């Protein structure tokens, strides 16, 4: 038997009486798997931190390495913001891009030092 594709598509469309389900723009939607993975990772981090408080050297090293990585991330984010905020403030959307561009007219810029012929 050959099935008509229009018939199977009709089952995928809800009836007109059903309101469409809209995604919430206020709260993010997480799947159950994401919540379980996040909870497991936080439990492992808490376990390692607790072991470091009890004096386990491996846990202290792991906590220290994690703290260094976190501090580097925060520092790099701050450096990015220090560079990004003035760039946003000083940006002129109507600035002529070709102004001061030596390649705007399709010519090479003047050479400061003339080329010399190389002897073979």
Q: What's the average model confidence in pLDDT over 15-25? A: 70
pLDDT given at position 111: 77
pLDDT given at position 44: 97
67 in a structural domain: yes
61 in a structural domain: yes
11 in a structural domain: no
**120 against 45, higher pLDDT:** 45
69 in a structural domain: yes
Q: What's the average model confidence in pLDDT over 20-44? A: 85
Q: Count structural domains, the chain.
A: 1
97 in a structural domain: no
105 in a structural domain: no
Of all residues in the chain, what percent carry a pLDDT higher than 90? 43
8 in a structural domain: no
Place of tokens 């891009």: 97
Of all residues in the chain, what percent carry a pLDDT higher than 70? 68
Residues of the domain holding 41: 30-90
5 in a structural domain: no
Which of the four pLDDT bands, split at 50, 70 and 90, describes residue 59?
very high
Check whether 82 has a pLDDT greater than 90.
Answer: yes
């Amino acid at each position: 038997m050959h099935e008509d594709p229009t018939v199977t598509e009709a089952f995928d469309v809800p009836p007109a009486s059903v309101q469409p389900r809209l995604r919430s723009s206020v709260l993010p939607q997480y799947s159950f798997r994401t919540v379980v993975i996040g909870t497991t990772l936080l439990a492992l981090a808490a376990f390692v931190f607790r072991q470091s408080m009890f004096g386990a050297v491996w846990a202290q090293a792991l906590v220290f390495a994690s703290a260094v990585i976190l501090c580097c991330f925060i520092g790099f984010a701050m450096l990015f913001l220090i560079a990004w905020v003035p760039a946003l403030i000083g940006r002129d959307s109507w600035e002529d891009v070709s102004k001061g561009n030596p390649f705007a007219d399709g010519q090479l810029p003047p050479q400061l030092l003339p080329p010399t012929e190389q002897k073979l």
